[in-house]
Every structure is written in C-alpha cells, then in structure tokens.
Structure 1
Amino acid sequence: MSNWKPITKPHLEGIIEIAEFNMSFVERNLWNQIKLNKLEKWTQYPFGEEGNGFWVVAIIGKRCLYYNDIEDGFNLSNFEVWGEIVEYYSNQTDLLSFLQSVFFRGI
C-alpha cells in the first residue's frame, strides 16, 4: 500500500511561483507565452489513473508540459486530444531547469 497522494493545485501553484521568481527576463518571457492561465488536470492512461490525471501547466504546439506528481518533475508529452496526455515520462526536473534545458540549450 502506497502513501502517495496526488499533489494539490495550490501546492503546484506554489512550486510554479517559486520557479517564476527565479526566472530571468528571457525565461519569464518564454514562460508567459506557453503557460496556461489556469492549470488543467488531464488524463493519462494507465499511470495517471490513480491520481485522476496530471496537472498540465503549459502548451507548446501539440505538446503539453505536465507535472508528474508521482515522480515530482515536469515532463513534455505529445497530445492528440485536448485533455489527454499521450506519453508518460518520469523525469524529476524542476520547472526552471526544464525550461533552460529544453528551450535554451536545445536539448
């Protein structure tokens, strides 16, 4: 039996707020262009079922940036239908490190 519980929206908003505080002007500008104004919980089968999905925080084209609260990190997945995460990833990357590595280092 696991003691894991899904992250609450206010807790995730706090994580994002800390990351935003530490962003440079360029990072903040990029973040403001891709972030959702309101976090959305999207489904992901089968790993997201226990927590009723994962919180999506940003959209980049046909990809969604979501917080995997099982692994405590941000991940990027394709999506075909709004509200459904296609791929499950288990990165344990914080938001600022994710933005820096994906968008500013070309990884």
Structure 2
Amino acid sequence: MSWEPISEVEIWDLINKSYERMSPEQRRVWEVIKIMPQKWSEESFGGLGGGFWVVAIIGETVIWFNDIEDGFNRSRFKVFGAINEYYCNQDDLECQVQNVINHLKTGYDAAGYTGPPHPIE
C-alpha cells in the first residue's frame, strides 16, 4: 500500500470530528484561530504531498496536519505559506488547541514536540 496525501475533503472531515470532541473553551479558541485549510510548503518532507494542510494561525505559529505521520502539529513560520519546523506528533486537533490555551494561560509552551527522523550512525 502506497502513501497518498490527504485531500481537502478528508482534512475537513478530521476538523469536523475534532470539533465535535472539543470542550466549550477549546471551541471558543478554535473559532478565533482557525483558517480555511490551505497547503503550505515545508522544506524537509512537505514536497512529498505538495505541502501540508495548515488549519489555524496563532501569532507566528500554525497548526497543521502531518499526513505522513497522521497527526496535528504546531510549528513556527517566518514567511506566510512556509512552515519552518517539521514535527511528527500524532495529536488530534483538539490537543493542539488545548496546547494553545495552556500557552495563553501560563505564558510558556509546555507541549511536547516529536522531531523529524534522524539517520542512525
């Protein structure tokens, strides 16, 4: 079985299912940070599927779906349309929204980040 990038219909399905599981507080924050899903480039692995779907923008960070690893991540960006950091968390969308809420409440980002694969030496 070969890998296929996630379609726009499929990303909307994931968003809608996550929204159903969100708490009222998560939904309020989601309504402020969400954008229409759009493909953004990512240098290390983004070329495989024509980029990754970005679904929310918070300051200089985005929430995006890694369809290679099947999970939502939060990464920084400098240029609109280009994700700077590749992560391979396998989080549901509501988990990433909760990470934003926690960051806003505490002033620091305590979320865990799973980085890209590294060659074995």
Same-fold status (TM-score > 0.5): yes
Offset at 1:101? Answer: 3.8
* Structure 2 match to 1:82: 80
1:5-24 → structure 2 map (5 Å cutoff):
5-24=4-23
Deviating above 3 A after TM superposition, structure 1's stretches of 4 or more consecutive aligned residues are: none
Partner of 1:41: 39
1:97 & 1:80 partners in 2: Cα distance? 24
- Distance in 1, matches of 2:73 and 2:21, equals 19
Distance of aligned partners of 1:89 and 1:59 in 2 relative to their CA distance in 1, 3 Å threshold: same
Query: How much identity, in percent, do the aligned residues show?
Result: 44
Unaligned runs of 5+ in 2: 111-121
Aligned to 1:72: 70
Quick one: which amino acid aligns to residue 55 of structure 2?
V
Q: Per-residue displacement from partner, 1:69-93 (whole Å, max 9, x unpaired)? A: 0000111111111000001000000
Q: Distance in 2 between matches of 1:40 and 1:96?
A: 19
Q: TM-score, normalised by structure 2?
A: 0.81
Q: Quickly say closer, same or farther: Cα 1:12–1:85, change in 2 above 3 A.
A: same
Deviations 1:31-77 (A, max 9, x none): 001000x1110000121101010000000001111100000011111
Partner of 2:31: 32
Secondary structure class of the residue paired with 2:32: helix
**Contact in 1 for aligned 2:22/2:94 (Cα 8 Å):** yes
State the distance in 1 between where 2:3 and 2:101 align.
31
1:16 partner amino acid: I
**Contact kept? 2:72, 2:92, Cα under 8 Å:** yes
How many residue pairs end up in the alignment?
Answer: 105
**What's the secondary structure of 1:5's corresponding residue?**
coil
Q: 1:19 to 1:87 in 2, by over 3 A?
A: same
Q: TM-score, normalised by structure 1?
A: 0.91
Greater C-alpha radius of gyration: 2
How big is the alpha-carbon RMSD for the aligned residues of Structure 1 and Structure 2? 1.5
Cα distance in 2 for partners of 1:3, 1:48 equals 17
